[in-house]
Amino acid sequence: MKAITVTDPDAGTAGMRLTDRPEPTPAENDVVVRVHASGFTPGELTWPATWTDRAGRDRTPSIPGHELAGVVTELGYGTTGLGVGQRVFGLADWTRDGTLAEYVAVEARNLAPLPADIDVVTAASLPISGLTAWQGLFEHGRLEAGQSVLVHGAAGGVGSVVTQLAREAGAHVVGTGRTADRAAALDLGAHEFVDLGADELGAVGPVDLVLDVIGGEIGDRSIDLVRPGGTFVTVAEPPARQPERGRAVFFVVEVSRPQLTELARRVREGRLRTRVAAVHPLTEAVEAFNPTGRVAGKTIIRVTPQEG
Ligand SMILES: NC(=O)c1ccc[n+]([C@@H]2O[C@H](COP(=O)([O-])OP(=O)(O)OC[C@H]3O[C@@H](n4cnc5c(N)ncnc54)[C@H](OP(=O)(O)O)[C@@H]3O)[C@@H](O)[C@H]2O)c1
């Protein structure tokens, strides 16, 4: 099968190749999926899991990309809950071969059925942003109606979903980002927007919840904006300190079929949208992974020319 592979952690995107790899075989409780659309995260070549398995053993050549939408072609020993021919979407394991390939083997529990009226490009853009936003707001942030949320990077992949979910949950949403992000953040549902390059971040708050995707000095300063009893949730890096009389949580997103299903339901109902900036074929995946110009939003690789 055609796949994008990486073999050298020091080579960065210069080491990415479109190659031929053996088709995967399903392990217990796996399915094999014919990948129709794949989503990747630009930073994943720096993640240890891209290079080693859970035991820390070298697993190169490895296939990057983790989000997928496609059709089940094979079931592993003992797999239940999904069937051959079923449309699915979800997230491949961080420490196994990924989705920038024609086929991928994934644990069935990491996938959810994909409704017929959601296209594969939209579906492949949803898992990481959607699950991270959901878990950040409702599991780790314990958001309730009437609370206030500071959403960093509100026009970005994670932030755009956070903004929509928080608004619908009845929160007061303060989005942040660059000057050019203002219109998008307000359009997604933010009540207010803070331009991190021009406005005073300290003028915000106190807020019940901060959801940080930026980290560094911006993340650190935001800890002081959490009101007593509130929470600082970050996916950027472990926070250096806790808010005074509040909680700080750093987490790595996990797959949940019920949450994927709920996110898909909201997409179908027109209550949730993702920001897909570009769609490229697998033959252009190396170039797309290493863009010369920045694109705001998610880049999706359309592995099959049309849905099958
Ligand atoms: N731990 C986890 O499980 C997890 C899960 C998902 C994502 N993440 C991480 O979270 C981060 C964000 O992911 P994403 O997909 O949302 O990325 P993204 O689409 O690039 O969104 C980030 C947004 O924040 C903006 N931004 C970044 N730095 C800024 C600054 N200094 N001032 C103003 N705006 C700034 C970006 O603007 P520009 O594009 O103009 O820089 C962009 O709009 C990534 O590092 C990703 O790896 C972690």
Tens-digit pLDDT profile for residues 74-103: 999 999 999 999 999 999 999 999 999 999
Poorest-confidence range of 113-117, 193-197, 295-299? 295-299
| CATH number of the domain encompassing residue 291 | 3.90.180.10
Q: 308 pLDDT band (50/70/90 cuts)? A: very low
Backbone phi and psi for residue 180, each to the nearest 5 degrees, phi listed first: -70, -10
Query: Are the C-beta atoms of residues 185 and 192 closer than 8 Å to each other?
Result: no
> Residue 4 forms beta bridges with which residues?
18
Calculate what percentage of the chain has a pLDDT beyond 70: 98
> How many A from CA of 277 to the centre of ligand 1?
15
Count the neighbouring beta carbons within 10 Å of the beta carbon of residue 101: 28
Counting from 1 in the atom list of ligand 1, the atom nearest the Cα of 41 is 47
Domain co-membership, 73 together with 43:
yes
3-state SS, the chain, equals: CEEEEECCCCCHHHHCEEEECCCCCCCCCEEEEEEEEEECCHHHHHCHHHCECCCCCECCCECCCCEEEEEEEEECCCCCCCCCCCEEEEECCCCCCCCCECEEEEEHHHEEECCCCCCHHHHHCCHHHHHHHHHHHHHHCCCCCCCEEEECCCCCHHHHHHHHHHHHCCCEEEEEECHHHHHHHHHHCCCEEEECCCCCHHHCCCEEEEEECCCHHHHHHHHCCEEEEEEEEECCCCCCCCCCCCEEEECCCCCCHHHHHHHHHHHHCCCCCCCEEEEEEHHHHHHHHCCCCCCCCEEEEECCCCCC
Query: Has residue 258 been placed in a domain?
Result: no
- pLDDT value at position 307? 58
Q: Is 246 in the pocket of ligand 1 (CB under 6 A)?
A: no
Domain with 19 in it: 2-125+275-302
The closest residue, in CA terms, to atom 45 on ligand 1 is: 236
Of residues 214 and 306, more confidently modeled: 214
Residue 117's contacts (CB-CB under 8 Å, 6 or more residues apart) are 268
Q: What domain count does the chain have? A: 2
Mean pLDDT of 211-229: 97
Domain co-membership, 237 together with 288:
no
Domain co-membership, 89 together with 140:
no
Helical packing angle, 157-168 and 127-134, nearest 10°: 50
The closest residue, in CA terms, to atom 20 on ligand 1 is: 156
> How many A from CA of 81 to the centre of ligand 1?
34
> Residue 80 forms beta bridges with which residues?
none
Query: Has residue 14 been placed in a domain?
Result: yes
Poorest-confidence range of 129-138, 202-211, 240-249, 284-293? 284-293
Q: 31 pLDDT band (50/70/90 cuts)? A: very high
Domain co-membership, 8 together with 112:
yes
The closest residue, in CA terms, to atom 36 on ligand 1 is: 153
Calculate what percentage of the chain has a pLDDT beyond 90: 94
Which among 214, 233, 295, 300 is the best mutation to test ligand 1's pocket, defined by most ligand atoms within 8 Å of the CB? 214
- pLDDT value at position 19? 98
| CATH number of the domain encompassing residue 173 | 3.40.50.720
Cα 230 to Cα 210: distance, rounded to the nearest angstrom: 8
The closest residue, in CA terms, to atom 43 on ligand 1 is: 156
The closest residue, in CA terms, to atom 24 on ligand 1 is: 153
- pLDDT value at position 293? 64
Tell me the C-alpha to C-alpha distance, in Å, between residue 189 and each of 141, 142, 175. Answer: 19, 20, 9
Cα 156 to Cα 215: distance, rounded to the nearest angstrom: 14
Tell me the C-alpha to C-alpha distance, in Å, between residue 126 and each of 158, 197, 241, 254. Answer: 9, 28, 31, 13
Tracing tokens 């490229």 back to the chain, one arrives at: 280
Domain co-membership, 184 together with 231:
yes
pLDDT at 132 over 80: yes
Query: Are the C-beta atoms of residues 31 and 108 closer than 8 Å to each other?
Result: yes
pLDDT at 306 over 80: no
Domain co-membership, 87 together with 198:
no
Identity of residue 25: T
pTM above 0.85, yes or no: yes
Cα 60 to Cα 4: distance, rounded to the nearest angstrom: 12
pLDDT at 55 over 50: yes
Tracing tokens 């300190």 back to the chain, one arrives at: 241
Q: 292 pLDDT band (50/70/90 cuts)? A: confident
Domain co-membership, 206 together with 190:
yes
> What's the chain's average pLDDT?
96
> How many A from CA of 197 to the centre of ligand 1?
15
Domain co-membership, 140 together with 167:
yes
> How many A from CA of 306 to the centre of ligand 1?
30
Domain co-membership, 36 together with 60:
yes
> How many A from CA of 215 to the centre of ligand 1?
9
Mean pLDDT of 143-150: 98
Q: Is 47 in the pocket of ligand 1 (CB under 6 A)?
A: no
The closest residue, in CA terms, to atom 12 on ligand 1 is: 213
Mean pLDDT of 260-265: 98
